[in-house]
Each structure stands twice: as structure tokens, then as C-alpha cells.
Amino acid sequence: MRVVDGLHRLKVARVRGDRTIAARFVDGTESDAFVLAVEANIRHGLPLSLADRKRAAAQIMGTHPQWSDRRVASATGISAGTVADLRRRGGEGGNEARIGRDGRIRPVDSTERRKQAADLIRSDPGLSLRQVAKQVGISPETVRDVRGRLERGESPTPDGNRALRPKPHPLTWPEPDLGRAVDRERLAVLERLKADPALRLNEVGRILLRMLAMHSMDGQEWERILRGVPPHLYGVVAAFARDHARVWAGFADHLENRATDVSHDEHDLRGVSSRS
């Protein structure tokens, strides 16, 4: 049996003469224990130096070659780019597919899937990172990179050629159907959110509910507002609307990324519980 995390606390308990302590037992291999120890130190232990974290990443890549760069980076507290650089220096080309932080298997060469993601973003720029990632089979972070490349007029694939050939395709938004009635299912979800104590019983939650309700107007109301904008303010109001749309899109991306992280953490906890 090996202590993965809490050696100092265990030593203090022994000095105090404690006969029992609270402990969490984990059933796994030595390599699994090493990963847990590194993760524990990254989160709340004594900070590891960059050199230590790189060495830990190299060891984890050796014992878990199927893990993606981002998953190794998440465990060791370094960037995915640094992990990829260490992998290249070690001469490890990797498998055709790797397991990501969310537990899903994705191909190492994502060139074709990046191109598919670019086509989806061009055809419907309103899709969230998570929606595109789910349809194409790549991570939301890869979709974020593809979207950023398109906005900068670059190729969606990091192949060294920064310019799109023969010229960049502009991201054109579809004409909104403002006359369409607000989706009933979305309104039903809004009503459930209004009844949720986690939102309605605190100030931040009430602010969020007011913002969501404000943007859930009927299509006819949107039409009335559209017709009421003075012609000399079309450009100014349009710029404000696009800025707010980008803020909401970023807000949605952050929430979806957090949801992915929470799902991953819950998956890890279930795995530990099943082995205990």
C-alpha cells in the first residue's frame, strides 16, 4: 500500500498519536497512483517546478501513451503544446487515436475533421463549440482553434500555411427569421429556470433570469423593435448587437467547457468508487 497524497498530514497524525485517520482508498496500478500524486500536487500541494512537471508529463506519456496531449497537460499543469513538444522530442508518434480529458477517443490526425468543422462554422456560425465538436468528433478546444483561424483568414489546419487557398471564405450569418414565434420548448425551459431555487433565491441568479427573459421575446416583438431603429443608427445598433452576440457566445463556450470538466470529474469519481 502506498500513500499517494497527504504524507505530511499522515506524519502529523502520527506525531499527535492519532490511532485512526480519514483516508480514501484507490485501487489501481503504480502508474495510476503516480498520476493521482501529480494531480494532487498540482491542485493543492507544494508547487512543482516546471522541470518536475515536464518530467512527470514524460513519465505519464510513457505509461499512458493513449492519453491525449490535453489530458496529460491537465494532469501535470503544463500546456498541451508543451506536452506535444515533449512527445515529438521523445520520438513518440503516438497511436492513431488518443483518449481526451472527457474520456472520448479522438484521432491524432484531425486534419479532415478540422475541415469539416470549418465547413460547419461557415454554414452556421451560430453553432456553439460543443455542437460542432459533437457533430464532427473533435474536442471543443480544437473547434475554438478552427474558429479563430477562420476569423483571422487562416487555414483551419495547422499545416504551416497560414493563408487560406485561394482566398478566405467570409463567415456569413444566415438571415434571421424574426417573424418566427419563440420556440415553445425554450420557453418551457425558461419557466423551469425561473422556478429553480438555485437561481431565483440569489441576486446573480435573478440577474441571469432577467437577461434570459429579455432575449426570449416573441418574433413579432423583435420585428417591432427592428422597425423602430432609426436609419442613421443602423450601423451603431448592429455593432452593439454583434458585440453582445459574441459575449453570449463566449459565455456559452465557458459554460459548456465547465460542463465537460464537471462530467469528467464525476466520471473519475464513479470509476474510483467502483474500484473501491
Lowest-pLDDT range, 1-10, 21-30, 140-149? 1-10
* R_g of the chain computed on alpha carbons: 24
d(CA 76, CA 53): 6
Contacts of 32 (CB under 8 A, 6+ apart): 26
Q: What percent of the chain has pLDDT over 90?
A: 3
What is the arithmetic mean of pLDDT over 13-37? 80
Instruction: Quick: pLDDT tens for 118-173.
Output: 998 988 888 888 888 888 877 788 888 888 888 888 888 876 454 444 444 444 44
Nearest-10 crossing angle of helices 234-275, 140-151: 160
Look up residue 101 and give its amino acid: R
Look up residue 201 and give its amino acid: L
Peptide bond into 166 cis (omega under 30): yes
Nearest Cα residue to 78 out of 58, 62, 54, 60: 54
Instruction: Quick: pLDDT tens for 39-79.
Output: 777 766 566 788 888 888 888 888 888 888 888 888 888 88
